[in-house]
Amino acid sequence: MAKLHQTVTTLRLFGDELDPDEITARLGCVPTVGARKGAVWLTKGGTEKVARTGFWRLEVKDKQPGDLDAQVVELLALCSDDLTVWADFTARFTVDIFCGLFMEESNEGITVSAKTMENLGLRNISLDLDIYGQTSPD
């Protein structure tokens, strides 16, 4: 089985009462993007959007070939390891790590280590996987 072609990984927190400044202060790292509900924010392409809910997102560099485990480890290393902070956030907000998994062939795979899964579990962080199959040539 071939190694997964590419992985894109982001830590995400969502909630109507979410204050990005609180998340930043308590996690000890600056997000890639964040906004309060109703605030105007800019997409990567420069388009203005109104936040339907509060959000805070921290992205790490895409990996090619894919390395989801390394990306999750990197995201968690950037943030506080205080489990009481995570318990508070996961009680009040939706918290996950979003992963885009991009295949180039029909059978590719990836591994997430037991240690990484344990660290996600201790923080009560869900792993959200979107899998994109190989594209057909035009």
Share of the chain above pLDDT 90, in %: 80
Residue 12 clears pLDDT 90, i.e. is over it:
yes
Looking up tokens 């990197």 gives 74
pLDDT at 74: 97
pLDDT at 136: 56
Higher pLDDT, residue 90 or 109: 90
The set of residues, in sequence order, having a beta carbon less than 8 Å from that of 126 and lying 6+ positions away, is 95, 96, 97, 120
Residue 87 clears pLDDT 80, i.e. is over it:
yes
Q: Pick from 38, 1, 32, 36: which is nearest to 18 by CA? A: 36
Q: How far is CA 108 from the centre of its chain?
A: 21
The tens digit of pLDDT for each residue in 21-71 reads: 999 999 999 999 999 999 999 888 889 999 999 999 999 999 999 999 999
